[in-house]
Amino acid sequence: MDRRQFNKTLAAAGTLASLSPFGIVRAQGAKLKVGVLLPRSGTQAFIGQSCQFGADIAPAVIKQMMGVDIELMNADTETNVDTARSRAERLISEGAQVLVGPFDSGAAGAIAQVAEQKGVPFVINIAAAPQITEQGYKYTFRNFPTAVDLVRNGLALIGDLFQATSTVPRTAVFMHVNDTFGQAMAKGVGGLMPRLTQLPFKIVDTISYDPAAKDLTVEVAKAKATGADFLLLVCRLNDAIILRREMVKQRWNPMGIIGPGNPGMYENQFYSALGKLSEHCISNVPWYNPKAELTKLIEAQMIKQFPKEKLMFHALNVGFTFESIMIAADAYKRARTSNSKELTEAIRQTDIKNRMMIGGPIKFNAKGQVEGIGSAAIQNLNQRPTVVLPVAAAEAKPVFPVPGYVKKS
């Protein structure tokens, strides 16, 4: 009897299934049961649903690649910490042997508590708040760089970009969204900039804006007034769209827009909402290596299961969600057991070289934080995200300053 049938039986009995005192512990099958917790409704629904694609394609790819059988158990955290916590408990009581999930740091923190209590390993797919792996959890792992690492990679790539294009911008205005992610990134930028003396530019002003802002007139007017050479932007999707439009309305054409490690400017919606205005924006983010074997496998599976979606528009979300499940599967294969202690130990010993995202092999440090994830400079060329740096993975040459750049008078 699988979970769905079980639930059906309960529902048929007219019971509120949730509170029935059945601790469902079934006999150990040869399948690894992965509980996937993502916010598919609520304010973070957009990214949650995007990540879900990465989970949905995982069983087929992993079966083919590693011969491991995976059973996904999906749960919606509704962008609510209480729900995240009780859903995590629910998944474990239903037999989930490893939890994978949510990029939003609040829910991730709530789930980490449960994982810790139950001794079930928990692999966070994406969440940049550095503190999560500093709180002392023993069962929590994160396959995503911390904000500081993101910014370090992102700024280094900016240096490479200027070298590759032989440009020397002197000033930047830094705009960032003031939410958990944006704040962590801003702290990274503030901490690293003074130490990176090899970068030719200075930040002349920092403008933080409300994540729920529906009108960025003042913010853009302020940024334009600084007369900075280029815009360093930590954004999310919706505000990035508003901001880009506002720049056009206010006729502000800096040398370019560069994101030092954030989403927002490579998602499908950015292209469809802005059309050719999306062109040339640069995001220095962890990305899949378009030339990697695994990427091709995943792309094929994506086309098979979701013909309407394109991998490149969900790149980071699908990539890291898939890799999190792959980490679990790999550990399961090595440990040959789903016993949570041994599985956790096996995850700690992870060393996966055949990966999809750019960077060294997947390895966790003592705190459960992954190390060695690289970033790539992604530029919007012909309305699609294109890898322009590092050269080894590049699909095209970077364009900077962008066409339409108006020199300061």
Partner 1 sequence: MPIDLIFNVVIAGVLTGLVYGLMALGLSVIFGVVRVVNFAHGEMMTIAMYATVVLFAAWKLDPFLAIFPAALAFFVFGYFLQSTLINPFITRPEHSQFMLLVAVAIIMVNGLLMIFGPTARNVQVDYQLESWELGKILFDKARVYAALTAMATSAALFAFFKFSRPGKAIRACADNHLGAKVVGLNVKHLYALTFGIGSACVAVAGCLMVLLVDVTPVLGPAYTLLAFVIVIVGGLGSMGGALLGGVLIGVSEAVAGLFITPSAKSMVSFALLILVLLFRPQGLLGRKS
Partner 2 sequence: MSAPASPLFADRRAIGLLLALLALLLALPALVNSYILSVAILILYFAYTGQAWNVMMGFCGQLSLGHSLYVGVGAYTVAALFVHYQISPWVGVWLAVVICTLMGLVIGFLAFRFGIGGTYFALLTIAFAEFTRIGFDHFDWVGSSGGFFLKVESHGTLDLLNLRGSPTMFYYLALAMCAAAFVFCAWLLKSRAGYYWQAIRENEEAAQALGINTFRWKMLAVGISSAMTSLAGVFFAFYYNNLFPEQIFNISRSIEIILGPIIGGIGTLFGPILGAAVLTILADGITELVAAMGLEIPGVKQVFYGVVLLLVVMFLPHGIWPTLARKLGLGQGSGK
315 contacts partner 1 (rule: CB under 8 A): no
178 contacts partner 1 (rule: CB under 8 A): yes
221 binds, among partner 1, partner 2, none (CB under 5 to 8 A by kind): partner 1
250 binds, among partner 2, partner 1, none (CB under 5 to 8 A by kind): partner 1
Smallest separation, CB 18 to partner 1 (Å): 19
Name residues contacting partner 1, limited to 200-229 (CB under 8 A): 207-210, 212-215, 217-219, 221-222, 225
- Residue 177: which of 260, 107, 239 has the closest Cα? 239
Give 4 or 336: the residue with its C-beta nearer to partner 2: 4
110 binds, among partner 2, partner 1, none (CB under 5 to 8 A by kind): partner 2
Residues in contact with partner 2 by the rule CB under 8 A = 4, 7-8, 10-11, 16-19, 21, 23, 40-41, 45, 48-49, 74, 76, 78, 81-83, 85-87, 89-90, 92-93, 105-106, 109-110, 112-114, 116-118, 129, 131-132, 134-138, 178-180, 182-184, 187, 211
CA angle 170, 168, 285 (to 5 degrees): 90
Q: Report CA-CA distances (Å) from 138 to 29, 102, 131.
A: 26, 18, 14
42 contacts partner 1 (rule: CB under 8 A): yes
46 binds, among partner 1, partner 2, none (CB under 5 to 8 A by kind): partner 1
74 binds, among partner 2, partner 1, none (CB under 5 to 8 A by kind): partner 2
User: What letter represents residue 3's amino acid?
Assistant: R
- Residue 187: which of 156, 150, 220 has the closest Cα? 150
Q: Report CA-CA distances (Å) from 297 to 32, 270, 340.
A: 21, 26, 29
| Cα–Cα distance for residue pair 262/259, rounded to 1 Å | 6
> What is the helix (H) or strand (E) element at residue 149, kind and residue range?
helix 147-165
- Considering only 35, 48, 109, 374, the residue that binds partner 1 (CB under 8 A) is 48
249 binds, among partner 2, partner 1, none (CB under 5 to 8 A by kind): partner 1
- Considering only 6, 10, 46, 204, the residue that binds partner 1 (CB under 8 A) is 46
Burial label for 335, CB within 10 Å (0-12, 13-18, 19+), is middle
Residue 154 and residue 285 in contact, taking contact as beta carbons nearer than 8 Å = yes
Smallest separation, CB 223 to partner 2 (Å): 19
Q: What is the crossing angle of helices 293-305 and 315-335, to 10°?
A: 110
300 contacts partner 1 (rule: CB under 8 A): no
| Cα–Cα distance for residue pair 110/99, rounded to 1 Å | 12
- Residue 211: which of 187, 242, 190 has the closest Cα? 242
| Cα–Cα distance for residue pair 310/57, rounded to 1 Å | 13
Q: Which residues bind partner 1 (CB under 8 A)?
A: 41-43, 45-46, 48-49, 178, 207-210, 212-215, 217-219, 221-222, 225, 237-238, 241-242, 245, 248-251, 268-269, 273, 275, 277
